[in-house]
Chains A and B, each alone.
Chain A
Amino acid sequence: MIGAFSDVFNVGRVGEDGIVVLFVKAVIVLLALATAAAYLTFAERKVAARIQLRVGPNRVGPLGLLQPAADAVKLLFKENAAPSGRDKLLYMVGPALAGGAAIFAFAAIPISGLTCVGGQLVGQGCNGGYAFHWDIIHVNVSLLFVLAVTSLGVYSLFLGGWSANSKYSLLGGLRSSAQLISYEMAVAFALVGAVILAGSLDLEKIVLAQHGVWFVVLQPLAFILYFAAALAETNRLPFDLPEAETELVAGYHTEYSSMRFGFYFLGEYINMVIVCAIATLVFLGGWLPLLPWIHSDWLGGLVGVGWFLAKVTALLFVMMWLRWTIPRFRYDRLMNIGWKLLLPLGLINIVVTGAIVAVRAS
């Protein structure tokens, strides 16, 4: 009974996939994310090089394409130097949490629309057959889920900075935690407008609500606010104060080396992917194609994945582009922008959107 309900209404599907399907999905996502993070470092160096009229890494493999593999091997085999006065447990927990939280958050991100295997797509559910969701865990508050889990990443930064027992890491950890906490508000408020329009916190439903027109058209201000705040959330320039190379020694991961440092790096780049995925799903129509063409079968699902990845990649490129174009903000400016500019604008956006929706509904 409950099972039939959840197929039609798309709720309560936690663990409804068989354990094998879940496992396969999880392994695919894990491998894809690790590879994506590795190649994002490569892409970043290439983009940086092109912007600065250089060539970039081109020695390892054709076009330098094996550079990430070489980097991974280097990280794995480097000596793991650790400060002697560290807190042994928390020093290990920090990097593990950085990578783990980021990967966990991706579990609730749908990369394509619902596919009905051996059934018919009726409205937003399947009539018979097997309802295949293109995410791992399907909660009806998936947007909040992603925000909640990524917000746990702040522990990794802070614990990493604190446990190393070094003043440089501690200061870096403090700066980054304060920045993350401040900009979480701006991120959440920027997304509320789109949630009001979609009437749901379910990422699948938010995407489907953009069938006629993407929310970036209806919510341009919110999109800009979200992207700006997201840059800060992921410690990207112009908001990369936590690890500002020219001011701090290296920020919260000063005392980390070898693969533990690698995990912080991994978490950071996966966070970039997540932020861009959320922006794509909430504002850019997710897997919806530019041309009105949608199928409920496997082919349609795969094409949807293609559109989704293309949009995410475009946003990732914009992030890199900004990094090598805009100088860093001063710390007090950073806080002012977060609290006195992005937050009030987000609130105004919520009020205006809510008023318009209420007027149209009545």
Chain B
Amino acid sequence: MSVIIWVAGVLAALSALGVVFSPQPLYSALSLVLTIGALAVIFLALNAQFLFVVQLIVYAGAVMVLFVFIIALLSPEAEDRVRVDFRFVIGAVVALGITVAMTVAARNGITFNASNVFRAQQIGQASDPYHAFAFDQSDIGTVNTAGNVQVVGGQLFTTFLLPFEITSLLLLVAVVGAVYLTRRRGTHTRPLRREAALARRPDLALEEDRIEVEVG
């Protein structure tokens, strides 16, 4: 198992570098798909089978397909070099900070909330950091006996009901907003819009358009 984790981890790291350094935007997006896939394999090796599948369906199967779609359709120019400017510095600092924070967390355990309801604690050896965590109230055996799906579902609809519902509401708002923004507005049909434009800037009209405007 740990061999699989190492292979997938190296693959994830390499493909993440590919996301940043690919000259072609489409290759960047596809590298991200590979990263997501490698992470999914790590989840599977850790026996988080539900997470593995969700990672593939949601990110690789849905979100990234849209990314690839947009990139391929707009076909932006290939970037010739990496520019080191203000944004680059900000990004580098944030990435470094997150990396440090995650390393510290992986070594020392994480506390998710103040009342210690859902605290991940370190139970494994430092030499085996991949199996270092278990949730306070249920050890690994219980989670897997019930099956990941049941545990995740149970937690979502009890402990995390409010955040879950708020998130779903947020997504619904986003969907409605997207539909509203892309909807073709109202009653203006094509010729009407053309006439309106001609009325605004008659000097740009063609010869026959000008005649129409004068007659009309």
Other-chain contact of B53, A148, A155, A184 (Cβ < 8 Å) = A148
A162 near B53 (CB under 8 angstroms)?
A: no
CB distance from B43 to the nearest CB of A (A): 11
Q: Which residues of B contact A201 (CB under 8 A)?
A: 50, 149
Which of B104-112, B122-130, B140-148, B170-178 contacts its partner?
B140-148
Q: Does B68 contact A (CB under 8 A)?
A: yes
CB distance from B113 to the nearest CB of A (A): 28
Give the distance in Å from the alpha carbon of A181 to the alpha carbon of B52 in the complex: 20
B57 near A158 (CB under 8 angstroms)?
A: no
- Contact residue range for chain A? 20 to 34
A155 near B57 (CB under 8 angstroms)?
A: no
Q: Does A127 contact B (CB under 8 A)?
A: no
Q: Which residues of A contact B52 (CB under 8 A)?
A: 139, 141, 145
Q: Does A177 contact B (CB under 8 A)?
A: yes
A11 near B147 (CB under 8 angstroms)?
A: yes
- A146-168 contacts to B, CB under 8 A, are 147-149, 151-152, 154-155, 158-159, 162
B57 near A154 (CB under 8 angstroms)?
A: no
- Contact residue range for chain B? 20 to 34
Q: Does A303 contact B (CB under 8 A)?
A: no
A5 near B72 (CB under 8 angstroms)?
A: no
Q: Which residues of B contact A11 (CB under 8 A)?
A: 144-145, 147
Give the distance in Å from the alpha carbon of A181 to the alpha carbon of B68 in the complex: 13
Chain A: which residue is nearest B71 at the CB level? A162
Other-chain contact of A155, B49, B68, B147 (Cβ < 8 Å) = B68
B149 near A148 (CB under 8 angstroms)?
A: no
Q: Which residues of B contact A147 (CB under 8 A)?
A: 57
The proximity string for B residues 64-77 relative to A, scoring 1 for CB distances below 8 Å and 0 otherwise, is 01001100110000
Give the distance in Å from the alpha carbon of A113 to the alpha carbon of B1 in the complex: 27
Q: Which residues of A contact B159 (CB under 8 A)?
A: none
Q: A151-B61, A152-B61, A154-B65 are in contact. Are A140 and B53 (CB under 8 A)?
A: no
